[in-house]
A and B are shown apart, each in its own frame.
Chain A
Amino acid sequence: MLRLIPLLPFLGFLVNACFGRRLTRKAAGAVASGVMLASLVVSLVAVRNLAGRPSPARAVVEQVFSWIRSGDFNVNLTLRLDPLSAVMILVVTGIGSLIHIYSTAYMDGETDSEYARYFSYLNLFAAFMLVLVLGSNFLVVFVGWEGVGLCSYLLIGFWYQKKSASDAGKKAFIVNRIGDFGFLLGVILAFVRFGTLDFQDIARSASALSPETSFGTLSLITLLLFVGATGKSAQIPLYVWLPDAMEGPTPVSALIHAATMVTAGVYMIGRNAVLFGHAPLTLRIVAAIGVATALLAATIGLVQNDIKRALAYSTVSQLGYMFLAMGVGAYAAGIFHLYTHAFFKALLFLGSGAVIHALGGEQDLRRMGRLRRELPITYATFLVGAMAIAGVPGLAGFFSKDEVLYRTYAGGHTLLWIVGLATSLLTATYMFRLVFLAFHGARDAPPAMAFALIVLALGSIAAGYAGVPRALGGSNRFERFLEPSFIVSEDTGGGVPVQADLDAETATASLEVGLMAVSTLVAVGGIGLAFFFFLKNPRAADDMANRFAGLHRVLVNQYYVDEIYDATLVQPIRIVSEDGLWKGIDVRAIDGAVNSVGEIVGGASEILRRLQTGSVRGSAASLFLGVVLILGYYLWR
């Protein structure tokens, strides 16, 4: 039954790709949304069956077929549903369905064939993403991993007539390829080290080892895998593609570049929690990169004037939080944040999409404003999303972000915690800057769009209650549910759980509540700052910008990272490729060798052809002479 989950969207892709031109747009949209909803239903049934089992036995394995058999190298196309992939398929199919529905209204300006093309890509993406999260070994995951990268490229460059869109697509693809190269090396090294690509087998082998204290094979494997994660999940140094990816249609940004695909890296680390747990050096790097990305992206997000670009930096920043959680070993907290983030970030993107749709394509915050009255549903839902991401108590983001920060603090990473807290202040500020600039100081969303917005807003409120921490009287059910995915259970020959049980031992409820109070204060403080600078006293923001003109310019230009990459990497590669590889090696050496062989043969022939005189008697004489010579040789030998 598991195979149906990715197969249904794939069928939708086939229908829209093959017959899309002949379908009416209503039919194309209905097919695409229908298969997603069907996939959601199958996923719900599968997850309900899974949840009905006792905790250690919560895994369903389904071998679709034996894929590669070559000596010791055996790979099967196997799907595996466990708590971690259960959360992921629900996010992908649930939010995916909503975004398909939303898109039926959002893309109504396209021609029929473009409309079908859009939905075929979207369905293909969903199919690959589901393969990625259901795959039970590295190679199956890699298929999904590359497939979502391809769909991301196709969808960013969906409006390929626009140069900036096709450039952004290429940039995303190339930057992702750099990461994927690292990922692939990591996979190969893992195979060399463990002799298998199956996640469970690798986890079992790894758990038998002691954690590496110095930089060894496990550290190298995990570090290479993390390079792949930085590409797909937009972390330093490979995050540069994500802001440009906003050239794609807004629902795509919501689905792929906020809710699902970019979380693949976080998921992959969670999937290999045991392996990463045995490489503490890599985990430290993951945490440091995560928190640095969170802070860097938040500062850039503070000054962006393009609403989608600001949201993109917000996504990069939130992904940083997830990596921070992974890096401090709080895998469940990281996945929890992934799951709540999917709701509110999809909501924020779709809300911004509704604004852009209503304003006929305007994305500049400075030209928006006072949309509160004209777009009441959008405003209300966007506000919910902003409150959720800012960490207002009671909303989804509060529980998950707080869990991440609490785990960081409790794990003794005070510096990381301080940076994380500072980032959450910035998060609240930049989010409410968007709210105030766009809505305070057209028509409302069409029903299909409003529906998706409302469902996501409800999710942004309610999703957090799946994991209310103990300190607040909850039972942290989400984490309990996920736990089997991060450890090797006893009956399969595993050992010690890699994640220390903080709830029971080191941490106290009062500490957690205290930290929550701090983050709440920070969130409110951030909102207050935004209120002061962008609503009450708009001139103050300009004053600040003028006073710190240098800093402001650096932030507006996104720390000149694109320019630095261009100067230090792209241009040297271009020069080496053009003057060295192309004009030097290809034109001179390779073409030169080929051409000179031709010239030598031609020159020699020019001389030898003189022998061909055409004289009949000459030919007869040479024939005769030849016979005499050969016979003479044999006679007098």
Chain B
Amino acid sequence: MPTLDHYLVLSAALFAIGTAGVFIRRNLITILLSIEIMLNAVNLTFVVFGRALGAVDGQIIVFFVITVAAAEAAVGLALVIGLFRHRESLNPDSFASLKW
């Protein structure tokens, strides 16, 4: 039977994977997916703590997070499409004109 610690370690691992994805991958869509992984790692933490404490608050917050994440994904993808049309590229390093 997995304990609370197992779930937390899993969540931390997912979060680390997502963070690494954001920094390592050179494709904006993959980076968006990595951010989704990070969000879901947090969701998992919420659910686990809710379960452990016997309260529904954690699960309610997760619903909100999922809703916001859906909206964020829509906006993010729209931006990615806009950027692709602009530069014919999905590499974040090619969008570096916002500097001194």
Do residues B23 and A621 form an inter-chain contact, with CB atoms below 8 A?
Answer: yes
Do residues B93 and A615 form an inter-chain contact, with CB atoms below 8 A?
Answer: yes
In the complex, which of the residues A609, A614, A617, A621 contacts B98, with contact meaning CB atoms closer than 8 Å? A614
C-alpha gap A609/B23 in the complex (Å): 23
Q: From residue A615, how far is it (CB to closest CB) to chain B in Å?
A: 5
Do residues B19 and A613 form an inter-chain contact, with CB atoms below 8 A?
Answer: no
Q: B residues within 8 A CB of A624?
A: 19, 23
What are 28 residue pairs bridging A and B, where the CB atoms are less than 8 Å apart in the complex?
A609-B100, A610-B100, A612-B98, A612-B99, A612-B100, A613-B96, A613-B99, A614-B96, A614-B97, A614-B98, A614-B99, A614-B100, A615-B92, A615-B93, A615-B96, A615-B99, A616-B92, A616-B93, A616-B95, A616-B96, A617-B22, A617-B23, A617-B92, A617-B93, A620-B22, A620-B23, A621-B23, A624-B23
Q: What 1/0 mask marks residues of chain A from 130 to 145 whose CB sits below 8 Å from any chain B CB?
A: 0000000000000000
Q: From residue A528, how far is it (CB to closest CB) to chain B in Å?
A: 96
C-alpha gap A624/B24 in the complex (Å): 14
Q: A residues within 8 A CB of B98?
A: 612, 614
Which residues of chain A from 592 to 612 have any CB-CB distance to chain B below 8 Å in the complex?
Answer: 609-610, 612
Q: Which partner residue on chain A sits nearest B95 by CB separation?
A: A616
Q: B residues within 8 A CB of A615?
A: 92-93, 96, 99
B: number of interface residues (CB 8 Å): 11
Which residues of chain A from 555 to 608 have any CB-CB distance to chain B below 8 Å in the complex?
Answer: none
Q: From residue A610, how far is it (CB to closest CB) to chain B in Å?
A: 7
Given contacts A609-B100, A615-B93, 9 further A-B contacts (CB under 8 A): A612-B100, A613-B99, A615-B99, A616-B92, A616-B93, A616-B95, A617-B93, A624-B19, A624-B23
Q: A residues within 8 A CB of B22?
A: 617, 620
Q: Which partner residue on chain B sits nearest A605 by CB separation?
A: B100
C-alpha gap A612/B100 in the complex (Å): 6
Q: From residue A248, how far is it (CB to closest CB) to chain B in Å?
A: 65
C-alpha gap A606/B92 in the complex (Å): 26
Q: B residues within 8 A CB of A620?
A: 22-23
Q: Which partner residue on chain A sits nearest B99 by CB separation?
A: A614
C-alpha gap A139/B93 in the complex (Å): 77
Q: From residue A607, how far is it (CB to closest CB) to chain B in Å?
A: 11
Q: From residue B85, how far is it (CB to closest CB) to chain A in Å?
A: 17
Q: What 1/0 mask marks residues of chain B from 68 to 100 whose CB sits below 8 Å from any chain A CB?
A: 000000000000000000000000110111111
C-alpha gap A613/B99 in the complex (Å): 5
The secondary-structure label for the interface of chain A is helix
Q: From residue A179, how far is it (CB to closest CB) to chain B in Å?
A: 62
Q: Which 3 A-B pairs have the closest CB atoms?
A: A614-B99, A614-B96, A616-B92
Q: Which partner residue on chain B sits nearest A615 by CB separation?
A: B96
Q: From residue A115, how far is it (CB to closest CB) to chain B in Å?
A: 67
Q: What 1/0 mask marks residues of chain B from 14 to 25 whose CB sits below 8 Å from any chain A CB?
A: 000001001100
Q: From residue B58, how far is it (CB to closest CB) to chain A in Å?
A: 20
Which residues of chain A from 37 to 76 have any CB-CB distance to chain B below 8 Å in the complex?
Answer: none
Q: From residue A49, how far is it (CB to closest CB) to chain B in Å?
A: 85
Q: From residue B30, how far is it (CB to closest CB) to chain A in Å?
A: 12
C-alpha gap A612/B98 in the complex (Å): 8
C-alpha gap A608/B21 in the complex (Å): 29
Q: Which partner residue on chain B sits nearest A609 by CB separation?
A: B100
Q: Which partner residue on chain B sits nearest A617 by CB separation?
A: B92
Q: From residue A618, how far is it (CB to closest CB) to chain B in Å?
A: 9
Q: B residues within 8 A CB of A613?
A: 96, 99
Which residues of chain A from 612 to 634 have any CB-CB distance to chain B below 8 Å in the complex?
Answer: 612-617, 620-621, 624
C-alpha gap A546/B96 in the complex (Å): 94
Q: B residues within 8 A CB of A612?
A: 98-100
Q: A residues within 8 A CB of B93?
A: 615-617
Q: A residues within 8 A CB of B96?
A: 613-616
Q: A residues within 8 A CB of B97?
A: 614
C-alpha gap A624/B22 in the complex (Å): 11
C-alpha gap A612/B23 in the complex (Å): 18
Q: From residue A617, how far is it (CB to closest CB) to chain B in Å?
A: 6
C-alpha gap A615/B100 in the complex (Å): 11
Q: B residues within 8 A CB of A610?
A: 100
C-alpha gap A545/B96 in the complex (Å): 94
C-alpha gap A616/B22 in the complex (Å): 10
C-alpha gap A609/B97 in the complex (Å): 14
Q: Which partner residue on chain B sits nearest A628 by CB separation?
A: B19
Q: Which of A613, A614, A621 gathers most chain B CB within 10 Å?
A: A614
C-alpha gap A632/B93 in the complex (Å): 29
C-alpha gap A617/B23 in the complex (Å): 6
Q: From residue B25, how far is it (CB to closest CB) to chain A in Å?
A: 10
C-alpha gap A616/B97 in the complex (Å): 10
Q: From residue A353, how far is it (CB to closest CB) to chain B in Å?
A: 76
C-alpha gap A617/B20 in the complex (Å): 11
Q: What 1/0 mask marks residues of chain A from 119 to 138 whose CB sits below 8 Å from any chain B CB?
A: 00000000000000000000
C-alpha gap A113/B30 in the complex (Å): 83
Q: Which partner residue on chain A sits nearest B92 by CB separation?
A: A616
Q: Which of A610, A612, A615 gathers most chain B CB within 10 Å?
A: A615
Q: Which partner residue on chain B sits nearest A614 by CB separation?
A: B99
Q: B residues within 8 A CB of A609?
A: 100
Q: A residues within 8 A CB of B23?
A: 617, 620-621, 624
